[in-house]
């Protein structure tokens, strides 16, 4: 159980020690942030805390485009006795769930599927599939920002089975299709060239 008062106090102070340990969701905006986000501190009644970016996304919140909570450092929340979850996250990051299922992931870790789901729920408040989806979206966003690859290629390299599934994930998470992120990146690159 998350200690609301202590976390809200840490949010007001922009406490960097909780960066990646908790995520702040704001009910009125539908956005979640890192506790170090420079945005104005929301009212306590509008705030919910989560232990992972995937849990906040699963609850229907979109990542803040300012503090990029989906890329927060996760290390502090995963150390100690959480080694199974840490190993699972490393495998998911390498694409284990892009081509195989949770059963295969659990087998590689030497645990049962239900036990793995319980570990993820306990430590991250999200399932392995939710974490994998969050990682795929992050990969796709980086590719959209840094390359001119066609959407189908971005989807494939990010671990999505199709461009349509990638578009659905982006629309669900950000409320807009992936193509809008490419246009934003292209505009930024053009502006950078003109400054030179």
Q: What is the pLDDT of residue 73?
A: 59
Query: Does 55 share its domain with 84?
Result: no
Answer for the pair 121, 127: CB distance below 8 angstroms, yes or no: yes
Query: Does 105 share its domain with 118?
Result: yes
Confidence of residue 70 (pLDDT cuts 50, 70, 90): confident
* Domain containing residue 60: CATH number: 3.40.10.10
Q: What is the pLDDT of residue 78?
A: 42
Cβ neighbours, 10 Å, residue 34: 28
Confidence of residue 158 (pLDDT cuts 50, 70, 90): very high
Query: Does 11 share its domain with 26?
Result: yes
Q: What is the pLDDT of residue 75?
A: 42
DSSP string, the chain: ---HHHHHHHHHHT-GGGBTTBEEEETTTTEEE-TT--SPPPPGGGEEEESSHHHHHHTTPEEPTTT-GGG---HHHH-TT-HHHHHHHHHHHTTHHHHS-HHHHHHHHTS-HHHHHHHHHHHHSS-HHHHHHHHHHHHHHHHHHH----HHHHHHHHT-S-HHHHHHHHHHHHSS-THHHHHHHHHHHHHHHHH-
Domain range for 141: 130-195
pTM above 0.85, yes or no: no
* d(C-alpha 192, C-alpha 196), whole Å: 7
Q: Which of 24-28, 66-70, 76-80, 83-87 has the lowest mean pLDDT?
A: 76-80
Q: What is the pLDDT of residue 8?
A: 94
pLDDT exceeds cutoff 70 at 59: yes
Average pLDDT on 63-78 reads 68
Structure tokens at 110: 């030497």
pLDDT digits 0-9 by tens, 81-98: 367 888 898 899 888 998
**How many domains are contained in the chain?**
3
Q: What is the pLDDT of residue 191?
A: 62
Query: Does 109 share its domain with 148?
Result: no
């Amino acid at each position: 159980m998350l200690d609301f008062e202590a976390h809200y106090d840490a949010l007001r102070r922009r406490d960097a020690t909780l960066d990646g340990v908790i995520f702040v969701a704001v009910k009125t905006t539908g956005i979640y942030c890192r506790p170090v986000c420079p945005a104005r501190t929301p009212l306590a009644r509008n705030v919910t805390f989560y232990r992972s970016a995937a849990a906040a996304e699963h609850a229907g919140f979109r990542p803040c485009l300012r503090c990029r909570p989906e890329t927060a450092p996760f290390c502090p929340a995963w150390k100690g006795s959480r080694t199974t979850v840490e190993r699972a996250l490393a495998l998911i990051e390498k694409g284990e769930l892009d081509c195989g299922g949770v059963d295969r992931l659990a087998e590689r870790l030497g645990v049962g599927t239900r036990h793995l789901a319980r570990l993820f729920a306990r430590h991250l408040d999200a399932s392995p599939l939710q974490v994998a989806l969050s990682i795929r979206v992050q990969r796709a966003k980086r590719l959209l920002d840094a390359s001119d690859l066609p959407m189908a290629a971005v989807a494939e390299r990010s671990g999505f089975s199709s461009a349509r599934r990638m578009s659905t994930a982006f629309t669900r998470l950000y409320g807009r299709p992936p193509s809008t992120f490419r246009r934003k990146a292209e505009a930024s690159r053009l502006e950078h060239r003109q400054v030179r």
